[in-house]
Amino acid sequence: MSYLRWWSGGVVAAVLAVSWLPAGQLALAQTVDELRHDLESTKDTLRSAEERIRKFKEDIQIKKQEARSLQDQISVIEENISGLSLVIEQTSAEIANTEAEIEAVQKDIEVTEVEIARQKTILAEYIRSLYAFDQQSSVALFLKYATFSAAITEAATYEEMQTRGQEVLQEVKRLRQEMREKQTALEGFRTGLTQLQQRQEAQQATLASAKQSKERVLDLTKEQESEFQRLLAEAQRTHQSAEAEIGRLDAMIREELRKQGIGNLPSVGVLSWPVQPIFGVSCEFHCAGYPYAYLIGPHAGMDIPTNVGTPILAPADGYVARVRDSGGPGYSYILLLHGNKVSTVFGHVSGFAVGEGQMVSRGSVIGYSGGAPGTHGAGLSSGPHLHFEVRVDNAPVNPRQYL
């Protein structure tokens, strides 16, 4: 049998033997397809949760009412609880989606590993064939055939084997790079899953706090409506007093700092979030439907729902101008001064980690969030959150412009 015929029969047969898709790999491919189908289902669930949240936000703007009575306050709290529950449902859908992504990528990696092994087997066959060809001398090659054209044909086949071998080698390299990228993606999904699980834990704690707030308000029976009205009036006075105090202190302390040679406070640049918006923002700057607008005017900042006791981080370097502790359920807040006439206010604070006159750096803990009705520092509030204000030249502006 000539070498050419051996290569044509033996090598091609060997290459074909490893080129067809093994039953195990076919099963893997089917499993990946099934996983991709399941992944699309989880994405549909996630999209459905997002749509329900969007619809809820639209409806709430229509239904929101002023908290003028005890029942109104209960209704506002119940609406907040519904909103928090929907966001938790969305997070659960994101977790399920991420878990499905992880499983699908893991199966993709398995399929890629099988394909790399298959291509390496093909490459080994080419290398063995090329090695056998190389053992022949040029004279022996031509003497082996009766015609010159037959010898040329085998030489051309040798070149074809080299080309195909090079192509297989490049395919193995490509598959290895693809597998490295998939492994990187897998690590990213795993990190994202951990973050989602941590976010869900914080969301569950915030929801529990909101439900406790409802129970505290429900303790005020109808016979205590007058007591609720008294508390509202007191909260109104506290907030108005705080507003006047913030305006007065901002200008007065800046002037005092200027006299002391500290006139140029650090510029803010882009502000960092003082707490992570695990539920997004429940009420934006001047949001429609703010339930206490009839008492204290338009909403001067943004409300970021978060569990009571969440550390509040300084959004930029600054000077602690005021630490106002109500000593009870009244409104407590922190005022920071920054450069370029910018100041930041943090309301419904349940605890403090700084004192007046301190310089603080971006990211340092300055206090702890509150806002659950009836708890320390809550003031006028319908649930656990941080009220965050940005002021420029002592006038409230939309914090979104700086975050």
Residue 365 pLDDT more than 90? yes
Does the reported pTM lie above 0.75? no
Task: Identify whether the C-beta of residue 295 lies closer than 8 Å to the C-beta of residue 380.
Answer: yes
Q: Residue 229's pLDDT is what? A: 63
Q: Residue 331's pLDDT is what? A: 86
Lowest mean pLDDT among 253-267, 270-284, 318-332, 381-395: 253-267
Longest Cα–Cα distance in the chain: 117
Q: Residue 56's pLDDT is what? A: 52
Phi, psi of 337 (to 5 degrees): -105, 140
Residue 28 pLDDT more than 70? no
- Residue 398 CB partners (closer than 8 Å, separation 6+): 284, 285, 286, 390
Lowest mean pLDDT among 15-29, 130-144, 389-403: 15-29
Please name every residue paired with 303 in a beta bridge, in sequence order, or none if there are none.
283, 387
Give the span between the Cα atoms of 28 and 17, in whole angstroms.
19
Nearest to 64 by CA among 227, 288, 254, 217: 288
Give 106-151 pLDDT, tens digit per residue.
888 888 888 888 888 877 887 777 676 666 655 555 555 555 555 5
- For the four alpha carbons of 71, 72, 75 and 80, in that order, the dihedral sign comes to negative
Q: What share of the chain in percent tops pLDDT 70?
A: 66
Question: Hey, what domains does the chain have and what are their CATH numbers?
Answer: 3-217 (no CATH), 222-401 (2.70.70.10)
The residue with greater pLDDT, 85 or 310, is: 310
The residue with greater pLDDT, 209 or 40, is: 209
Q: How is residue 344 written in tokens?
A: 């930041």
Residue with tokens 């980690």: 353
DSSP-derived 3-state class of residue 226: helix
Give 292-314 pLDDT, tens digit per residue.
777 677 888 999 999 899 999 99
Give 144-187 pLDDT, tens digit per residue.
555 555 555 655 666 776 777 777 778 778 878 887 887 888 78
